[in-house]
Structure 1
Amino acid sequence: SEIDVSSLAELSVDGSGSFSVPAGERVTTDELEFEVNPLEDLAITMELGSVPSTLTCHTASRCSTWIAKDTAADAAEFVNYGEMTSWYFITALDVVAGSSDSGVIVCFGDSLTDGASVTTNGFARYTDQLSRRLREDDALKNLAVVNMGIGATALYRYGGDIAGTVRANRDILGVPGVKYVVLFMGVNDIGGADTDISSDIISHYKSIIERCHENGIKIYGATITPFKGNGYYSELHEQIRLAVNEFVLSEDSGFDGCVDLASLMCDPSDPEKLEDSYVSVWNDYLHFNDSGYSRVGDAVYEMLASELS
């Protein structure tokens, strides 16, 4: 498909269309008057004067990025291009809301939120399905969904600044307009554990819950889905998963609500493993396929609709 050149608008920083981003820093462009329609795809084209040796990117974006040499930034389409499935440089796109009932739902988690294994350019993450369902609901159609899933990250056991409990300050509290959070995270902590860490996971959940409530944000928990058949599985890890899920479902968890994805996605004849029809194309019995993510999106929507309508 081509870029609609009639809609092109130039972004600027301090009035200039040419700018540099110092290493390790962020730059926010000037406000641009540009109407964005719900669920519309946007293209952002950058012309680079020089390319750093280390690039900031979201490694597995599930969408195509096209890179071309000697092509004008305002071209409708590229020739002699390379195609990647990572997003480079752009961190976020802030939109000025046009209605009083607008707000943001942050979906916070790991690869299961990021959408690992979905069809490239298929917009099949659970957050994509959630966005579509919200748009069909007159009462909730002005809520935007922000996907803050990063693959291969943990709640607390590793990752430094991108561990969930650390980056929550940036990726939840720092998101403009955030009103609600869906927390679906912890499986990677469990997968590498050699002792019972259920109390540690719960403690870090409580920390994020507390920070959200201190900032007037409602937060909803999701139970950790099963992974029997994956290398993560062991009796110890299953015990941890069940203990954490029991907390998420309990009335005194501190969550403002919850969605039981574990029960939804499991094989009814063996609740410790995923239902076969939801297993990813990788056949890893950890990640979901497009249908599985769609089912999760439906379930999260149904939970939010019940809580917020």
Structure 2
Amino acid sequence: MLGIGTVSAFDLGFLSPKQEFKIATTTSLDDTGLLTALEEKFESEHSDVDVQFISAGTGKALEYGEKGDVDLVMVHSKAKEKEFIDAGYGTNRTIFAYNFFYLVGPKDDSAGINGSDVVAAFGKIADEGAKNPDKVKFVSRGDESGTHNRELKIWNETGLDYNSTISGQKWYLESGKGMGETLIMSNEKQAYTLSDSGTYLAFAGNTTLVPYITEGKDLMNVYSLIPINATKFPDTKSDIGQEWITFVTGAEGQGIIKDYGVDKYGKTLFTPYVGTSDPEV
């Protein structure tokens, strides 16, 4: 029995544990450290919430959502996001930031892609890789991530048959890993790869890879928030999900995104943007 002046367990908060709020997210948002910055600010204003991130490629992140294992997803593959929402797993798509994919590679530019557009560059890599697979290589994520999906889209635009002339070839390697690890592998192999700009800049000090193509409509990389459908998964913490979306798309969250990376890399890793349609740049 508690006496006068005794502090109860309730007063200490032991009977009110933090609510776990789970987000499945693409590795690029995690590898850059942006999510940690957003999490720290959000939790400082929501002391009863414990934000937990599950980092994976977009395809895997959406699988977590399809199983109801998370409350929200933060991903970057528009076509897959639409399928996810149309199937009733997510309720809506809100864009919160964008950057660009970079085609990066060895300093000696073994395939001679400098000055090309990205589709022509992919074609040159395939051509030179077939001729000299020991010298010209490309490392793919190979993991159904947003970056991997964009890579496949660009290969398709070259007009080459991916299954017969690219996949399985000696010059074409698959990491099966996140973006940061794929960049490290590409550096070790002195190979080309497609990376989101944020992760490339965050890992630039750990590689000698050079960005050759960094702009263009084929390289725009849009990041979205999608809350899980609480009708399909009643345990989903949709109230906290809405608070997270309001925060990330509001002045505080957009301010963090705008400034993130400037002090360390001299430029922001992501451009803040709020909307349901892709930005026009």
Q: TM-score, normalised by structure 1?
A: 0.26
Greater per-residue strand proportion: 2
Greater per-residue helix proportion: 2
Structure scoring higher RCO (CA < 8 A, sep ≥ 6) equals 2
Q: Which has the larger radius of gyration?
A: 2
Q: TM-score, normalised by structure 2?
A: 0.28
